[in-house]
Chain A
Amino acid sequence: MRFDTLVAIALVFIPFSLTSIGGGAAIVAGIQHETVTVHAWVNSREFLDLFAVSRAAPGPGMMLATVIGWKVAGWLGAFVATLALFVPSSLLCYSVFKLTNHHRDKKWHRAMREGLAPVGIGLIIAGVLSLFRLADGGVTAFVIAGLSGVILYFAPRFPVLGVLALGGLAAMLASTLSTWVSSL
């Protein structure tokens, strides 16, 4: 049973490793679908919590897989999920880099670089959309995400951890305020 779970974790994350064009943000929508809807390893609430945790911790956003693996099957699950998500893409990057770095001025190399970039961006937008749907946070979600985007756009050097903390604080204030207003 436990072994089956580990295999299932690997089988879910390996294909995502090779489709995470533009990084981990591109596969949030897909990971959510597989782990919440298809396998029911975590519910929507837990998925959002894990997303928040993976963003508040250091490291690439792809560590979302690590915490899902940990939630499903403990340390071993975390280890398998991490390997499944990082090994295939790393091997691919290593081989492509080694084989093509000398051809970087060639036309096909440029076409590949410029052609893949918009696919990655489209996938990230899809990820944002599915997170919004999952969070179902209404106005608060839009306001906090919008403000955080504005801060980071105009002040790129503003510490990310600070923005995340402000987001948590703002949500807390909004919730306290609305409880207080409705109790009047």
Chain B
Amino acid sequence: MTSPVPASPLETPRLRSLFLLCFKIGVLSFGGGLSGWLYREFVLSKRWIDEEDFSSSLAISQMLPGANVVNLVICMGEQLRGPVGALTCVLGFLVGPFFAVVGLCQLFDALAGYPLLPVISDGVAFAAMGLLIIMCVHGVRRAMRFPPSIVTIAVTAILVGIFRFPLIPVACVIAPISVALAWRRI
């Protein structure tokens, strides 16, 4: 198909290509940090999305609740093919991990008689906590620019993590205060 007028330098992908790309990223996505991968695929290699659209989508995906990558593929899908595109991207992304995680669980149960299994599982969980700690370190470093953010982090962590206050009400009270503080600062 040839078009005389190059309306946009960015091409519109087919739904099937969107699904397959998200599926691929989904099954290969170990341990997070996928925004970089999505950037490489959607912006650099396929050239479906431009830089600025990507970074604003990323900001929205990170600030809203939900898995960041899932939110990000929703924004990508919406920009490229509207609501159907967003749905295609989410389904493509989640279908692989859904079966993989249950499969791994079944494998785990099948090995349940093996005495060292709980020990190994603990080790994997501890190592995974390291991943979370890294997220905290990066977040705290970003928050250093504005001291009240550190207070927000500390109060949230102490109330939920140490005093074991229920997470949802705590988040619902602290989030608006934190947004109001950010509003006054900028």
Q: Roughly how many angstroms separate A156 CA and B146 CA in the complex, as a whole number?
A: 26
Q: Which residues of B contact A124 (CB under 8 A)?
A: 132, 135-136, 139
Q: Which residues of B contact A111 (CB under 8 A)?
A: 179-180, 182-183, 186
Contact A118 B30 (CB under 8 A): no
CB distance from A73 to the nearest CB of B (A): 12
- Contacting residue for A60 out of B67, B102, B135, B178, CB 8 A: B67
Known A70-B105, A156-B33: A125·B122 in contact at CB below 8 Å: no
Q: Tell me whether B175 is interfacial, beta carbon within 8 Å.
A: yes
Within 8 A of A (CB), among B32-59: 32-33, 56-57, 59
Q: Which residues of B contact A96 (CB under 8 A)?
A: 60, 64
Q: Tell me whether A40 is interfacial, beta carbon within 8 Å.
A: no
Contact mask for chain A residues 84-113; partner B; CB cutoff 8 A; 1 contact, 0 none: 001001101110111011001001101111
CB distance from B29 to the nearest CB of A (A): 5
- Contacting residue for B130 out of A15, A58, A61, A148, CB 8 A: A148
Seen from chain B, the residues whose Cβ lies within 8 Å of a Cβ on chain A are 26-33, 56-57, 59-71, 74-75, 78, 83, 86, 90, 94, 96-98, 100-105, 108, 116, 118-137, 139-140, 142-143, 146, 149-150, 152-157, 159-162, 164, 166-168, 171-172, 174-175, 178-183, 185-186
Given contacts A25-B135, A93-B60, A168-B124, 12 further A-B contacts (CB under 8 A): A20-B66, A58-B100, A58-B101, A89-B71, A90-B71, A114-B149, A118-B150, A118-B153, A119-B174, A122-B157, A140-B122, A159-B30
